[in-house]
Structure 1
Amino acid sequence: MENLALIDSFSEFKDDKLIDRVTLMAILEDVFRNALKKKYGSDDNFDIIINPDKGDMEIWRNRVVVADGEVEDPNQEISLSEARKIEPDFEVGEDVSEEVKLIQLGRRAILALRQNLISKIHEHDNTNLYKQFKELIGDIYTAEVHHVRPKAVILVDDEGNEIVLPKEKQIPSDFFRKGDNVRGIIENVELKGNKPQIIMSRTSEKFLEKLFEQEIPEVFDGLITIKKVVRIPGEKAKVAVDSYDDRIDPVGACVGMKGSRIHGIVRELGNENIDVINYTSNTQLYITRALSPAKVSSIKIDEEARRAEVFLKLEEVSKAIGRGGHNIKLAGLLTGYELDVIREGNLEEDEDVELTEFSDEIEDWIIQEFAKIGLDTARSVLNQDVADLVRRTDLEEETILEVVRILKEEFED
């Protein structure tokens, strides 16, 4: 009867962990055999009968009867006189089966046995968890914020599984509180020791692609294909889309009336600016579309070097480059070409001067602020409205007015 309490406690694992009967029996037998090996040196001659559903278990040791005084291996052999204490009619050479009670293993062995069982069940759970989330890599997943740490946010799903959202996988504008629901994609599952670590990402291009699938029925149904996604998380993204059905406008379907369809995606990504463009195999047209909202005058392509010279009117240059150079960088990533901007202009515009030529009068960090928004010549700055420059840069109005004065003097001279 002393087996019952122990087996009852083992059965709790079956209910708590939802382990199937066959798996639990295999784990239990493995644990008991390890305990028998430690106690008797070998488990080869033991039969273990387990019924976790009923809460009972039997261990039987099989030995051969030998003459008194000839026992060489007490685990494999039993003397005739000892055997006859079990059954009086045993003879030398016969097999004896004797039940082993758990108490005979000793209290410490039983405690160790329980710890071993817990370890084995956790190992089983971790293996299943690893396999489960391996199959979810690349899929959107939702979990609740459990703990916010400096380098990561720890999430917990409905099953109590822990998911890690590292700082570098968060959008810069992300801010989470305990209890918030967070969406991202399962990016990777790593084994840390025997425990799987599930990594979520909100900065991956795949996350944006999956959001399109969730929010836009035509993408989900396969009527619209996403050809490529590039993004600078939290800042800007470009998505190339295509449709094999001429009746469908892929860009219009993705954006929706007045941006109604894409608005939810933009909000999810911290107001990331998303450009949706029509994919085409025509390289020149593809580059032109990728540089939107800028209007390209002409393009000269070097296929071998995967470079393209893009000719633009002066007023289009800043649009092509974009704030912080984001637009031209993403256009290059989307098309797979390194893009060089070539300015077009009249004679007066050709008499332009690089801002770096004014480094004696204008500090380098100020020149860099203008370069961030695509303004790297004197005329490109002078052609801008001062109020607009204040809004687009981190410069004070007084500083900008002083720069404008210095630049104007150059052309007046």
Structure 2
Amino acid sequence: MNSAIVESFAQMVREKNVDKDVLAGIIEEIFGVMVKKKYGQEANFDVIANMDKGDIEIFLERTIVDEVEDPETEISIAEVEKKGNEEELEVGDDYVEKLELSSFGRRLINLARQNLNQRIREIEKELVYNEYSEMVGEIIVGDIYQVRRNDILVNHNRHELLLPRSEQIPRERYRKGDTIRAVIKEVKQTPNGPVIIISRSDNLFLRKLFEIEIPEIYDGIIEIKRIAREPSERAKIAVESQDPRIDAVGACVGMKGVRIHAIVRELNNENIDVINYSDDPIVLIQRSLAPAKLKQIELDETEKRCNVLADSDQVSLIVGRNGVNIRLAMKLTGYEIDVIREEKPYEE
């Protein structure tokens, strides 16, 4: 019976990836509770779980007395004789008895099994929480196994990850069975276990894609300084090279745009503008509004506002479709941008 119980517990170790020593400690604790229920809270005992041999041994130690006053810690010499006093123990000696699991009855054994299952589930939740907490900010590849109204469930290494609607790329279509890439954004601890939130719309996802596709960024030669993004529409990313021999924008775009196109495809054809970063806010504003040509930039660094003067035919380029270009420029630079239109003189 002992080996069957330990084998069932060992199977949990293999399935749940629980450390054997941790499991042995839990078994000892749970069977210790069983001993206390049967023999009393003051009982002196040892539980030894050998996971390799598949055995659980329980030893109960009591003091031999003439008349028992405390049955939890004492045993009469008469009872010791009945059990076969092979070591010829006397009154005052300690009597160590090996308890058989069958002596606890089926009800206590089943209770121990239920308690162990509960503890295993708690440990598994803790392991999952710790594993994915360390992976926050990393990109994972999983399989979509359920598409729901407000979120998508993704299978990753037999664990459930959640892609909420707010973290999805708008207008992107998801189908059951599709392989999907996303960044682990957050891991929440809840009463029902950890909830692992992944994202495709977060700026961090774009940053990590650049690190994967562009070795110079991964190696630290090129640094991503700022990112502004409206998922499915457009993104602006400011980069700076730590090596004067390397063109940051050129390295990010790649030969014939091969590097940037790989990222664009992953983001459902989201347009990406890569610009050179500058500590000078006027230069950064000018670059972030390209390809529009600006005539003048008036800056208020205290209020973080700026007025941009441009010819009327450049305003549409500055603002962009549905205002996305100027909104991203404001996010990237941190300045509120007002556009002042200057009409060109009429030429006869």
- Which band: TM-score by shorter chain? over 0.9
- Offset of residue 72 of structure 1: 3.1
TM-score after normalising by structure 2: 0.94
Summarize deviations over 1:49-73 as a string: whole Å, max 9, x none: 22121111210111112223xx233
Kindly provide the amino acid, as one letter, of the partner of residue 73 in structure 1: D
| 3-state SS, counterpart of residue 73 of structure 1 | coil
TM-score after normalising by structure 1: 0.80
Work out whether residues 293 and 319 of structure 1, in 8 Å CA contact, stay in contact via their aligned partners in 2: yes
1:268 lines up with 2:266 in the alignment: yes
Summarize deviations over 1:147-173 as a string: whole Å, max 9, x none: 11111111111x211111111110012
1:320 lines up with 2:318 in the alignment: yes
Work out whether residues 238 and 276 of structure 1, in 8 Å CA contact, stay in contact via their aligned partners in 2: yes
Distance in 1, matches of 2:299 and 2:180, equals 43
1:79 lines up with 2:53 in the alignment: no
- Offset of residue 283 of structure 1: 1.3
How does 1:148-159 map onto structure 2 within 5 Å? 148-157=147-156, 159=157
Change in 2 beyond 3 A, CA 1:207/1:55: same
Distance in 2, matches of 1:299 and 1:143, equals 47
Correspondence for 2:46: 47
Higher Cα radius of gyration:
1
1:235 lines up with 2:219 in the alignment: no
Structure 1 outlier segments of 4+, above 3 Å = 87-90, 346-349
Work out whether residues 147 and 154 of structure 1, in 8 Å CA contact, stay in contact via their aligned partners in 2: yes
Work out whether residues 33 and 43 of structure 1, in 8 Å CA contact, stay in contact via their aligned partners in 2: no
Between Structure 1 and Structure 2, how many residues are aligned?
345
Summarize deviations over 1:354-405 as a string: whole Å, max 9, x none: xxxxxxxxxxxxxxxxxxxxxxxxxxxxxxxxxxxxxxxxxxxxxxxxxxxx
Correspondence for 1:33: 32
Distance in 1, matches of 2:321 and 2:185, equals 29
Distance in 1, matches of 2:43 and 2:167, equals 52
How does 1:221-370 map onto structure 2 within 5 Å? 221-346=219-344
Distance in 1, matches of 2:320 and 2:38, equals 75
| 3-state SS, counterpart of residue 12 of structure 2 | helix
- Offset of residue 77 of structure 1: 1.3
| 3-state SS, counterpart of residue 173 of structure 1 | coil
More strand by share: 2
- Offset of residue 281 of structure 1: 1.0
- Offset of residue 29 of structure 1: 0.9
How does 1:156-167 map onto structure 2 within 5 Å? 156-157=155-156, 159-167=157-165
Correspondence for 1:3: 2
| 3-state SS, counterpart of residue 290 of structure 2 | coil
Kindly provide the amino acid, as one letter, of the partner of residue 240 in structure 1: A
Correspondence for 1:145: 144
Correspondence for 1:382: none
Summarize deviations over 1:236-280 as a string: whole Å, max 9, x none: 110001102222111111112332211111111111111111101
More helix by share: 1
Task: Provide the alpha-carbon RMSD of the alignment.
Answer: 1.7
Structure with the larger RCO, 1 or 2 (CA within 8 Å, 6+ apart): 2
User: Which deviates more from structure 2 when the two are superposed, residues 83-92 or residues 262-271?
Assistant: 83-92
Distance in 2, matches of 1:234 and 1:135, equals 29
Unaligned runs of 5+ in 2: none
Unaligned runs of 5+ in 1: 350-413
Kindly provide the amino acid, as one letter, of the partner of residue 114 in structure 2: Q
